[in-house]
Amino acid sequence: MSPKGPSDTALGKKSGKPWYREWGEAIGIALILALIIRTFLFQAFKIPSGSMEDTLLIGDHLLVNKFIYGIQLPWSDDRYLSLRDPQRGDVIVFEFPLDEDLPFYKRRDFIKRVIGVPGDVVEVRDKTVYINGAPLVLPQEVHKGPAYAEDPRRDNLVPVKVPPDRYFVMGDNRDRSFDSRFWGFVDKSEIKGLAFIKYWSWDREAHSPRWNRIGRSIE
């Protein structure tokens, strides 16, 4: 029988570290990986309002792809390795523009659908959205009360041109959405990512999961 070489015993050799040190290192590595994934790759969000009904319901939990529009370094507006720009119809999560002067821990995240991209002219007439003069028809659009606000901009908006690196967004439930009609455009640097899947859904009124929504893609 040939003598054992170093490779024969390496897997079975104990490190000699105390168990609590090994556990601490494993937990530390796991936390670092989780932080990297949350910062640069994917992040989970929960839907708190009905502004995106029926695409997203209160109690839906979703994942957001944070790298598709480019990896963004913390405390920086620069993006790297972008796969594509936001497109009309994308459901995006973004930092609420009117919160930009607040401390970072008080800033809110909103979720809406991209309606106008840079260069588009957006207009609303009698609740119908027009892009560059043509009606925009989306199957996800609904009008369900109670209305968000008795504000003339909700149903009628004069033509506005979307500036470079800005986006015009609206909720799918047009009557209950606080969106670009009221507060303006979303800067590309404020976009956190593309919502792409519902991984969990809880009906708080029925106190039960919505099994038919779990694992469904967001369109």
**Among candidate residues 63, 119, 57, the one with its CA nearest the CA of residue 88:** 119
118 and 165 in contact (C-beta within 8 Å)? yes
Sorted by sequence, the CB contacts under 8 Å of residue 161 that are 6+ apart come out as 119, 120, 121, 122
- DSSP bridge pairs for 131: 122, 134
148 and 177 in contact (C-beta within 8 Å)? yes
| DSSP element (H, E) containing 160 | strand 157-161
- Among 2, 49, 82, 112, which one carries the catalytic annotation? 112
| Residue 51 annotated among the catalytic residues of the structure | yes
- Among 4, 15, 49, 51, which one carries the catalytic annotation? 51
Question: What are the structure tokens assigned to 87, written together?
Answer: 């497109």
| Residue 201 annotated among the catalytic residues of the structure | no
What does the alpha-carbon distance between residue 138 and residue 172 come to, in Å, rounded to a whole number? 9
Radius of gyration (C-alpha) of the chain in whole angstroms: 23
**Phi and psi, residue 15, nearest 5°:** -75, -25
Task: Indicate the SS3 state at residue 219.
Answer: coil
- What amino acid positions are annotated as catalytic residues? 51, 112
